[in-house]
Structure 1
Amino acid sequence: MTDAAQTAPARSRRMTGLGTVLVFLYAVMALAATGRSVVQIIERFAEAPVPYTLSAAAAIVYVLATVALLVSKSPTWYRIAWIAVCFELAGVLIVGTLSWAVPDIFHAEATVWTLYGSGYFWVPLVLPFLGIWWLVTHRPPRAV
């Protein structure tokens, strides 16, 4: 072992196990939602501007949540992760409920969050709960 390795403080990794899987899932959802919203907006925006705008908003939220969870060791990014994950949960619950109760508002599976994310095997419904659990159990250390 080198002298530098002996004197360097031990680093604790926050992204291990479930945290790594969680960030991976958020990254996949970010790519899927971004691709879907870009295609929808370019090809059919006039058909359903509200759902397609919501798809773009979902994509932004997934990108932000991915980055924030990845660097959530910082108190600022930890707060941003909380905001993104809670916004995602609210979005999937509100859009999911409206698309079920009033299906005419949203065209068939027009957004990532339509019918609670059924087009994505309900991953959008489960993911924010996992994100909240992870954030609760992995708080960043407080500054002294």
Structure 2
Amino acid sequence: MPETSTRPEDAALGTGLGRVLLLVYGIFALSASARALVQISTHFSEAPLAYLLSAFAGLVYISATVGLAVGGARGRMIALVSCTIELLGVLIVGTLSIADAVAFPDDTVWSHFGSGYGYVPLVLPFIGLWWIWRHRP
């Protein structure tokens, strides 16, 4: 059974900007996962690292979406860990994709700091972490 709370700070996590964050994370969860599934199933041998990173990014976005949707202490922790991994991932993969383009012959969600997605993957974890911090108990 999902953990529910009637505390104002828990309710605020899923209201206003929190709902927009939930929507954006949900869209990225779907798009990154679908992209990875297509890439892995059609031409995995061309760029296995990039495609596995796309799949990992999809899992991170799914996890963040679930954390934001669940709320409460457990959901907040899931979202916090997910957004932190997302931030590290986009910074590390973004840097590596520029420094070693040969290792990334095809783009991932986090390649070039999310340039293929309008740099939203670079900005989103900062907003997510700020939102979680702002609504901490």
Post-superposition, which runs of at least 4 consecutive aligned residues in structure 1 deviate over 6 A? Answer: none
| Equivalent pairs, count | 129
CA deviation after TM superposition for structure 1 residue 72, in Å = 2.2
Q: Name the residue aligned to 1:124.
A: 121
CA deviation after TM superposition for structure 1 residue 36, in Å = 0.4
Q: Could you say what secondary structure the match of 1:45 adopts?
A: helix
Q: Name the residue aligned to 1:6.
A: none
> What CA RMSD, in Å, does the superposition of the two structures yield over aligned residues?
1.3
Note the 1:1-144 alignment, pairs <5 A: 12=8, 13-14=11-12, 15-73=14-72, 75-109=73-107, 111-139=108-136, 141=137
Q: In percent, how many aligned pairs have the same letter?
A: 51
CA deviation after TM superposition for structure 1 residue 83, in Å = 0.7
- Inter-CA distance 11–89: structure 2 relative to 1 (3 Å threshold): closer
Q: Could you say what secondary structure the match of 1:46 adopts?
A: helix
State the structure with more CA Rg. 1
Contact 2:21/2:128 (CA < 8 Å) preserved in 1? yes
* Relative contact order, higher structure (CA 8 A, sep 6+): 2
Structure 2, unmatched stretches of 5+, are 1-5
2:24 maps to amino acid: L
TM-score of the superposed pair, with normalisation by structure 2: 0.89
Contact 2:22/2:68 (CA < 8 Å) preserved in 1? yes
Contact 2:67/2:78 (CA < 8 Å) preserved in 1? yes
TM-score of the superposed pair, with normalisation by structure 1: 0.85
CA deviation after TM superposition for structure 1 residue 71, in Å = 1.5
Q: Name the residue aligned to 1:3.
A: none
